[in-house]
Amino acid sequence: MKKKLIFILVIAIIGSIAYLVFFWPKSRVVLSDDLHAELNSKAKASDYIEEVKKGSLVEDADIDTSKTGKVEVTVYVDILGKIRPYKFKVKVSDTLAPEIQTPESINCLLGQPCELSKVIRVTDNSNEKIKINFKGKVDSEKPGLYDVECSAEDQSGNKSNKNIQINIIDINKNNDDISFVTSNGFSGERKGGITKVNGTLIANKTFTLPSGYGPGGLTGKAAAAWSEMEKAARKDGMSITVVSGYRSYDTQKWLYNKYVEEDGKKEADTSSARPGHSEHQTGLAIDINSVEEKFENTPEGKWLNNNAYKYGWILRYTKDGQEVTGYIFEPWHYRYVGKKLAQELYNNGDWITVEDYFGIPSKYAVE
């Protein structure tokens, strides 16, 4: 009889311990009804614990929401002075649709591909590839308004839609201040007759400068960059000199007309900018040493080609970019754009034109 009582007592103790370890904390912790976390959200176990009866939460835990499925979470609770682990599961799922972050109206340039896939910005909590589709046709060769429906779907099947109006504009026939998107997805703006793309001042056969615009000389940044580059060249045994820097609208007009008289308009348009279209008017362009193609093969020409980008200067009119820029190869003409952009346009020695990089045209308006 005594042994039987001892056996019953042992069983009772074991049962009590098991209850305390496995069941008692659970009976004291009250969870919320919705044990769900959004994919890639910031979630903690405490977000789902409504109450710890006669106790408190002493150690919280972050929930791994990096992938969908059930995730086990372990926290520690203090109940009546005893600290014990408490485990529960949270379901991680993706219920949010992609967000199409694009204005309802977009201006694209006439004659340039309106690559909507480069223009549309879509974000999603899944951080996975988003499927984007467009309904509607856009004729980039014809000015006008075009309606396009954009749909975005993530890999969980969440889908969103947005109606977008595309406006194909002829920049040469529109004198208003206007914003636009280039064919490579860069933002452009013309304000007060000055055009900038991604913050870079543009002057070419398409984009003009007002006749009254002009800093009167090289801009402060361009002048400082030239000084830095000239000193570096001199240190390497090179001798570089600016033979032509800033030119006013009127000076460019005189020079262009001179070329027209000597070579005819068609030929002049390949080597000299029309007034209002010259980079020299920006105060950001210089001609160095010799305005002859043979300058390319001189020690100074080679040095500039390989080093100018380090100081924020680019070879503006490249040998392979003549059809794009509309100008002959000019190994003497350099343009200041800043070190970051110059590094990208240098492209390890295979220069990219400003037009190709930004996705902008360089063509005179049809007369």
3-class secondary structure, 7: helix
Q: Helices 220-235 and 299-307: crossing angle, nearest 10°?
A: 120
Amino acid at 148: V
Q: Which residues contact 367 (CB under 8 A, 6 or more apart)?
A: none
Closest by CA position to 205, among listed 300, 142, 279, 144: 279
* Separation between Cα atoms, residue 213 and residue 142, nearest integer Å: 31
Residues 6 or more apart whose CB falls under 8 angstroms from that of 351 comprise 314, 315, 318, 320, 321, 345
Separation of alpha carbons 349 and 273, rounded Å: 26
Asked if residues 77 and 125 have their Cβ atoms less than 8 Å apart, the reply is no
Which residue out of 153, 279, 300, 330 is catalytically annotated? 330
Active site residue 104: no
Query: Is residue 316 within 8 Å of 279, Cβ to Cβ?
Result: yes
Residue 74 phi/psi, 5-degree rounding, is: -120, 125
| 201, 298, 322 from 330: Cα distances, Å | 20, 14, 10
Contact 183, 115 (CB under 8 A): yes
**DSSP state, 117?**
H
Residue in 121, 182, 107 with CA at minimum distance from that of residue 355:
182
CA distances from 275 to 48, 272, 283 (A): 69, 9, 14
Q: How far apart are CA 320 and CA 227, in angstroms?
A: 29
Supply the residues annotated as catalytic. 330
